């Protein structure tokens, strides 16, 4: 017999090779390509734009009822338009009226648009424009974000193609050109060459040289009393014989130079406050560059807000502080105030938020393209540059109001040959700053994209903060025509805070509504107060019952600050006397000597 073969173990399959870890160089290559692309598109992600248009087109194509409705309304408009056209052309003195634009369209405000054939051109365009806008509204199945994006882009495209923007169809341009024999076009060409030269040489716009920082604007006397790698702190010189006990610390946005609140002497909020007897401190942010790419949002809180508070407390020990934040500075101040409340820091006498949002669920047109695709695209661009450039930010703000800030200005400047008169506010608006890559990425993701602050997921030093912890009285200001921080979004602080709240709604936009000095013609505001424990009112319900007042909201704020200071002193058993001896400038014995006159160094950084 043959010996049995030994039993063999089943053969094991060979192990698959472990794939190598992704090579960082490939990721770097992608980021470099996307960064180069972002420079060409001014930071707008093409994928976000394409995805919105594709989503709209697919859902509109699958909605035959929507299409038929658009076609029916377009047919009705066309029939009315042609009837109006024929009867008007035949000399009918009272042709059937076409629906006017609501509100009246400023693009066709010139009286020449009421004459033939320009009235027919304007009416035909307005009817067609309505149907295009109709096509982007209430499309079944289209996501809300994509609907907002498509509607925004459709408004931009229809604004761009409007007859008012075509010189051969605009009667005002035609009449001016005929009357001046083309001299307006020569002036416009000269304006264009001057603007191009200024842009290429990185100089401010024409006329801005009349508003020099420290000479015509930002001239309120004061001293820089503290400086670190991120801020200078300015203490303003007193202008009265005595001062209110509680100082005011103002935290402006770092996207802008601080002197929006210290423009010309006649409209300077700082100068006005000092004239009312307040001791005022102002944060002046450093203009970052590529070396500051790693500066975080918490660095802005720690080295900005908290460092300034510590300096004020060292100069005026034992005093409670009225803290005031403007725009992004107000958002950061609210975060700092919530962290202080959580940690039992009682230094705030009150909290004032000027056009500052704490909830970003309805943050207006600025949120239209803030999604994962767009934020990632911006992050790659900032990773390459180290910061977000001023021109890239300015373009985004201008596109929100392209008809007013872009197209009409181009027509006046380059076709009518007219220069807009430069103002201190316009000159300041051209003096913008950069934003560090890490900080801006954290801001976009943590607040705009994920809305962590009011969702209970925003952490400071490893622990979550809540606006509901803030007990200091709040004075919040929204502006009626704000495209950056819509007033209903600003009002949401009432929903997430339980503190005593005074809310003001003033006329104007994001900047002009805040710079609203007493005596400014035509100013008015609405004001309402909510005690601790009162029920929440929706924005529209609040507006319906708020008190209407003529004049500047600054006066109401001054009265409120005085009242809060008195209440703080009574609560501490310090009596009701509100005026005290004028403070010294800085505190040399505390290591805070005056470092130089206002406006300091950082505001002058290019």
Does 324 qualify as catalytic in the annotation? no
**Could you tell me which of 487, 539, 533, 532 has the C-alpha nearest to residue 508?**
487
What six digits make up the tokens of 107?
A: 């693009």
Residue 528 confidence (pLDDT): 96
Q: How many whole angstroms separate alpha carbon 431 and alpha carbon 256? A: 8
Cα 436 to Cα 296: distance, rounded to the nearest angstrom: 8
Cα–Cα distance measured from residue 241 to residue 263, given in angstroms and rounded to the nearest whole number:
24
- 297, 327, 338, 493: which one is catalytic? 327
All residues at 6 or more sequence positions from 416 whose CB lies less than 8 Å from its CB, including other chains = 172, 173, 176, 184, 188
Note the residue count of the chain.
606
To the question of domain 222-361+451-604 being in CATH 3.40.50.1820, the answer is yes
84-143 tens-digit pLDDT = 788 766 555 555 555 554 456 788 888 888 888 888 888 888 888 989 999 999 999 998
Residues 209 and 212: their CA atoms lie apart, in Å, by 6
Average pLDDT over the chain, rounded to an integer: 87
Q: Average pLDDT of 492-505?
A: 96
The pTM is what? 0.88
**Distance (Å, whole) CA 410 – CA 348:** 47
The pLDDT assigned to 7 comes to 47
Per-residue pLDDT reduced to its tens digit, 167-216: 899 999 999 999 999 999 999 999 999 999 988 888 889 999 999 999 99
In this predicted structure, the answer to whether residue 449 has a pLDDT above a threshold of 90 is: no
| CA–CA dist 251, 273 (Å, integer) | 15
From the list 531, 545, 529, 537, the residue with the least C-alpha distance to 498 is 531
| Owner of token pair 């991120």 | 230
Residues 284-295 have a mean pLDDT of 92
CA dist., res. 169 & res. 27, Å (int):
50
Question: In the chain, which segments carry CATH 3.40.50.1820?
Answer: 222-361+451-604
pLDDT at 96: 53
Give the three-state DSSP class for 209: helix
Helix (H) or strand (E) holding 172: helix 171-180
């Amino acid at each position: 017999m043959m010996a049995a073969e030994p039993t063999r173990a089943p053969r094991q399959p060979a192990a698959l090779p472990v794939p190598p870890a992704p090579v960082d160089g490939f990721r770097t290559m992608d980021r470099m390509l996307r960064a180069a692309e972002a420079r060409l598109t001014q930071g707008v992600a093409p994928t976000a734009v394409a995805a919105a248009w594709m989503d709209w087109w697919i859902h509109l194509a699958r909605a035959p009822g929507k299409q038929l409705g658009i076609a029916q309304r377009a047919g009705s408009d066309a029939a009315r338009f042609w009837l109006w056209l024929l009867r008007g052309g035949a000399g009918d003195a009272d042709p059937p009226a076409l629906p006017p634009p609501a509100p009246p369209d400023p693009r066709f405000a010139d009286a020449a648009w009421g004459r033939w054939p320009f009235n027919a051109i304007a009416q035909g365009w307005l009817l067609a424009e309505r149907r295009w806008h109709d096509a982007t509204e209430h499309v079944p199945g289209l996501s809300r974000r994509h609907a907002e994006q498509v509607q925004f882009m459709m408004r931009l495209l229809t604004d761009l193609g409007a007859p008012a923007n075509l010189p051969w169809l605009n009667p005002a341009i035609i009449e001016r050109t005929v009357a001046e024999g083309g001299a307006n076009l020569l002036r416009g060409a000269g304006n264009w060459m001057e603007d191009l030269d200024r842009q290429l040489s990185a100089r401010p716009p024409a006329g801005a040289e009349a508003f020099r920082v420290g000479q015509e604007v930002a001239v309120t006397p004061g001293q820089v009393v503290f400086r670190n790698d991120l801020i200078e702190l300015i203490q303003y010189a007193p202008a009265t014989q005595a001062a209110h006990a509680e100082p005011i610390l103002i935290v402006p946005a770092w996207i802008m130079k601080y002197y929006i609140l210290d423009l010309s002497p006649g409209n300077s909020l700082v100068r006005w406050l000092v004239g009312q007897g307040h001791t005022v401190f102002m944060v002046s942010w450093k203009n970052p560059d590529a070396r500051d790419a790693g500066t975080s949002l918490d660095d802005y809180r720690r080295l900005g807000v908290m460092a300034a508070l510590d300096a004020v407390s060292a100069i005026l020990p034992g005093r409670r502080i009225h803290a005031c934040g403007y725009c992004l500075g107000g958002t950061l101040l609210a975060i700092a105030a919530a962290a202080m409340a959580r940690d039992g820091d009682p230094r705030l006498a009150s909290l004032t938020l000027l056009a500052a949002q704490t909830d970003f669920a309805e943050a207006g047109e600025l949120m239209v393209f803030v999604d994962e695709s767009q934020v990632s695209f911006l992050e790659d661009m900032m990773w390459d540059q180290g910061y977000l450039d001023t021109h890239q930010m300015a373009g985004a703000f201008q596109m929100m109001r392209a008809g007013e800030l872009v197209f009409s200005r181009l027509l006046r400047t380059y076709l009518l040959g007219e220069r807009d008169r430069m103002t201190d506010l316009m000159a300041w608006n051209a003096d913008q700053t950069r934003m560090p890559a890490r900080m801006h990425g954290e801001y976009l993701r943590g607040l705009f994209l994920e809305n962590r602050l009011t969702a209970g997921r925003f952490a400071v030093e490893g622990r979550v903060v809540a606006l509901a912890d803030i007990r200091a009285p709040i004075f919040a200001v929204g502006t009626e025509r704000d495209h950056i921080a819509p007033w209903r979004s600003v009002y949401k602080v009432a929903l997430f805070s339980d503190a005593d709240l005074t809310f003001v709604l003033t006329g104007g936009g994001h900047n002009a509504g805040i710079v609203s000095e007493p005596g400014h013609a035509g100013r008015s505001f609405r004001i309402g107060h909510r005690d601790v424990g009162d029920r929440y009112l929706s924005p529209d319900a609040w507006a319906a019952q708020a008190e209407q007042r003529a004049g500047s909201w600054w006066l109401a704020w001054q009265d409120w600050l005085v009242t809060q200071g008195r209440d703080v002193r009574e609560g501490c058993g310090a009596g009701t006397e509100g005026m005290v001896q004028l403070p010294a400038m800085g505190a040399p014995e505390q290591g805070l000597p005056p470092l130089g006159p206002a406006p300091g160094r950082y505001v002058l950084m290019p």
